[in-house]
Amino acid sequence: MSNGDEIPAPPVVPLGDLQATAPPRQRADAVRNRARILSAAERLFTEHDPRTVTMDQIAKAAGVGRATLYRSFPDPSAVATALLDEHERRLQGQMIYGPPPLGPGRPPAERLAAFYSAVLDLLQRHLPLALGAETGPARYTTGAYAFWRLHVRTLLEAGGVKDPDALADIALGPLAPELYHHQRHTLGIPHERIAQALSLLARRLLGAA
């Protein structure tokens, strides 16, 4: 406080009293602010090129101060990553525990083809978020990319590829959001044709006909 007065301590609440005190109210405010930020950012990423959206725009659209926004997110990419994270985690669960061919129980070539198809579907539904979160070098620093890389490397190794470490990133290259955007919206290639091409690539990489 500007006059140097001490900030009063919150009232002591008996252990058995379940009424909210000041800290829970602050946490509830933070949760509400985060929800407002994410909702506003998703709208902005959909309406504009995600690579041009600024923190000032997000704060204004969410109706929060810049300080509030920066307490939760360092930059627009981090906001997009938080939005995309839920969708990617759901896909990761399907890859680990779901039915084949995306989940376990099929040959590596079939699983890689199913993986390509699943990520392409995610890009189709959430391309603005992917462009905002995984453009340029930032793509390689996300937890999702590390998971995708481990999954693809494991399939390549199981399929007998001689150098799965070198090939894993190359095999993930076609799934870059910028490339998908270029193919769909600049070249006009239908989503289904891209999926068919990647299915063929998966089988060629792993020696399947």
187: domain CATH number? 1.10.357
- Domains in the chain: how many in total? 2
Same domain, 115 and 187: yes
Same domain, 36 and 131: no
Same domain, 141 and 46: no
Tell whether 137 is covered by a domain: yes
Q: Which two tokens stand for residue 170?
A: 């190359």
Identity at 54, one-letter amino acid code? T
Tell whether 11 is covered by a domain: no
Range of the domain at 56: 22-72
Identity at 77, one-letter amino acid code? S
Tell whether 4 is covered by a domain: no
Same domain, 66 and 80: no
Q: What is the pLDDT of residue 190?
A: 97
| Nearest C-alpha neighbor of 77 from the set 34, 45, 39 | 45
Same domain, 100 and 155: yes
Give, for all 209 residues of the chain, the pLDDT tens digit.
444 444 444 444 343 444 444 444 557 788 889 889 998 988 998 888 877 899 999 999 999 999 999 998 999 888 888 888 888 989 999 999 999 999 999 999 999 999 999 999 999 998 988 888 777 787 888 888 999 999 999 999 999 999 999 999 999 999 999 999 999 999 999 999 999 999 999 999 998 64
Instruction: State the CATH number of the domain containing residue 26.
Output: 1.10.10
pTM over 0.75: no
The last residue of one of the domains, among 53, 72, 91, is 72
Count Cβ atoms below 10 Å from residue 13 Cβ, excluding itself: 12
Same domain, 60 and 120: no
Tell whether 123 is covered by a domain: yes
Same domain, 61 and 91: no
Tell whether 13 is covered by a domain: no
Q: What is the pLDDT of residue 208?
A: 64
